[in-house]
């Protein structure tokens, strides 16, 4: 399964329009149509979206709604993973603290960070709560 197909599907459900979805991703409308067909084939030919005729409104089937909700979770998790992998390759650890937390909690853990040699890699950003 192609995760891009899931992204196209979710955007199509949000936009309710093939042309707008294609424009959003900078692809052709047939690209979106084929992605939906691949997903439907992946799930045994189950219809995910119905549109009685070309100018009619799109309707998401019950199966399509389930896929939409799950796909949003999957895509969100992929984005989180991507962010964490990029951050793991950085030389520093970013830690955001509210002023109260910086005064009350952080001093308690600073010693532990120092003992594990992580304090030198820590970049603290203090801002409002």
CA 39, CA 55: separation in Å to the nearest integer?
Answer: 22
Q: Kindly report, residue by residue over 69-123, the tens digit of the pLDDT.
A: 999 999 999 999 998 898 778 776 777 777 777 778 777 777 777 777 777 767 7
Residues 6+ apart with CB under 8 A from 120: none
Q: Out of 56-60, 66-70, 121-125, pick the least confident.
A: 121-125
CA 4, CA 32: separation in Å to the nearest integer?
Answer: 10
User: Which is it for the CA torsion 19, 22, 26, 31, positive or negative?
Assistant: negative
The rounded percent of the chain whose pLDDT value lies above 70 is 90
Q: Both 56 and 29 in a single domain?
A: yes
Q: Both 104 and 45 in a single domain?
A: no
- Looking at residue 57, what is its pLDDT? 85
Cross-strand partners of 122: 93
Number of domains comprising the chain: 2
- CB of 48 within 8 A of CB of 63? yes
CA 91, CA 69: separation in Å to the nearest integer?
Answer: 36
3-state secondary structure of 57: coil
Q: Both 50 and 8 in a single domain?
A: yes
Q: Both 53 and 108 in a single domain?
A: no
- Looking at residue 105, what is its pLDDT? 79
Q: Both 23 and 80 in a single domain?
A: yes
Instruction: Tell me the whole-structure pTM to 2 decimals.
Output: 0.69
The pairs formed by 45-53 with CB atoms below 8 angstroms and a separation of 24 or more are 48/9, 49/12, 49/13
CA 34, CA 44: separation in Å to the nearest integer?
Answer: 15
Q: Domain span at residue 63?
A: 3-88
Query: Strand 49-50 and strand 93-97: pairing?
Result: unpaired
- Looking at residue 18, what is its pLDDT? 93
CATH code for position 35: 1.10.10.10
């Amino acid at each position: 399964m192609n995760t891009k197909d899931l992204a196209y599907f979710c955007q199509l459900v949000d936009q309710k329009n093939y042309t707008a979805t294609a424009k959003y991703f900078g692809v052709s409308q047939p690209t979106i149509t084929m992605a939906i067909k691949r997903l439907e084939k992946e799930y045994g030919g189950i219809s995910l979206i119905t549109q009685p005729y070309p100018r009619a409104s799109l309707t998401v089937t019950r199966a399509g709604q389930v896929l939409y909700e799950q796909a949003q979770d999957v895509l969100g998790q992929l984005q989180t993973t991507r962010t964490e992998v990029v951050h793991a390759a950085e030389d520093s650890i970013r830690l955001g603290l509210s002023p109260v937390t910086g005064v009350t909690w952080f001093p308690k853990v600073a010693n532990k960070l120092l003992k594990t040699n992580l304090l030198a890699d820590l970049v603290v950003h203090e801002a409002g709560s």
